[in-house]
Chains A and B, each alone.
Chain A
Amino acid sequence: MKIKTRERGEVTIIEPRGRITIGAGDVALRDAVDEALEAGGRQFLINFKKVSRMDSSGLGELVLAREKVTNSGGVIKLFNLPRGVGDVLEVTQIHTVFDVFQSEEQAVASFH
């Protein structure tokens, strides 16, 4: 799993690619969020467009990321969820603790 991070104004956009699953992808997501927080960012978006699979460990990292960002006074939101990933968030009710958007434009605009 690869993760690219880019800035759009005040917003840090984290873009994982591949599986966010136990043993590799979950750790990569944790590292990316930690690095973005250390860099001083407080407004975060995760773009799920190229995420092919998310398992219970990936969900755990997502919950942990929200906790870390919130404890740092920041906000983290999600967008571009593929059907399978969106379904996993819904089944586990994790979607109720995140703001989820269909597009990057909507997600970025939500910070203003």
Chain B
Amino acid sequence: MPPLSSRLTLSFGSRIEALDLLDDVAAVWLNGVSAEAEEVRCEQIGLALREAAANAILHGNDSREDKKVQIELSFRNPELLIRVKDEGEGFDPDSLPDPLLPENLMRKTGRGILLMRAYMNEVDFEFDGGTVAIMRCAFAGEADTPGR
């Protein structure tokens, strides 16, 4: 049986190398909190988290190790909430080019937020002393898989 609620918080300096460790820690936590969820669903949520954290490191904190990325994963059955906060100056998510337009399909970058939105039910951004990416999804098994 999965727990009724669980919370994981992490904070690290802005180094890309931290993302693999984040991947591994999040995978263990996600598998632990929802015994019903299939492996691919955990991978999708882990990828959304990884993309948000990569954006925080690269774009929010300019890869400055003295600037922190703060992660919070919170599960209250059946909802999963992920918050990824950086120390950047914010951005306008509506100004980003649509990576699915034919003219953008061969661009090297710009697909991170698309993947976050594909694999989570809700993705919002708040700006409060940094950017906070807030992602939510139901996490009770494959019947709730969004984005397909």
Contacts and interface: CB of A to CB of B under 8 A. Distances in A.
Interface residues of B, number: 28
8 contacts: A55-B47, A55-B51, A56-B54, A83-B40, A84-B43, A84-B44, A87-B44, A92-B115
- Main secondary structure on A side of the interface with B: helix
B2 to A, nearest CB: 22
A88 B115 contact: yes
A3 interface: no
Contacts, number: 71
Interface of A: 19, 21-24, 53, 55-57, 59-61, 63-64, 66-67, 83-84, 87-88, 91-94, 96-97
Contacts of B109: 56-57, 60
Interface in B29-50: 40, 43-44, 46-47, 50
A55 B54 contact: yes
Nearest to B18: A23
B44 A92 contact: no
Interface string B41-65: 0011011001100100000000000
- Main secondary structure on B side of the interface with A: helix
A57 B108 CA distance: 8
B87 to A, nearest CB: 19
Nearest to B17: A23
A60 B111 contact: yes
B147 interface: yes
A93 B44 contact: no
Contacts of B47: 53, 55, 84, 88
A63 B106 CA distance: 6
A92 B99 contact: yes
Nearest to B114: A92
Contacts of B46: 53
B19 A22 contact: yes
Given A21-B50, A67-B106, 8 more contacts: A21-B20, A22-B16, A55-B54, A56-B111, A61-B108, A63-B108, A64-B108, A88-B47
Contacts of A19: 20, 23
Given A22-B54, A56-B109, A56-B111, A92 B100 contact: yes
B119 to A, nearest CB: 8
Contacts of A55: 47, 50-51, 54, 112, 115
A94 B99 CA distance: 10
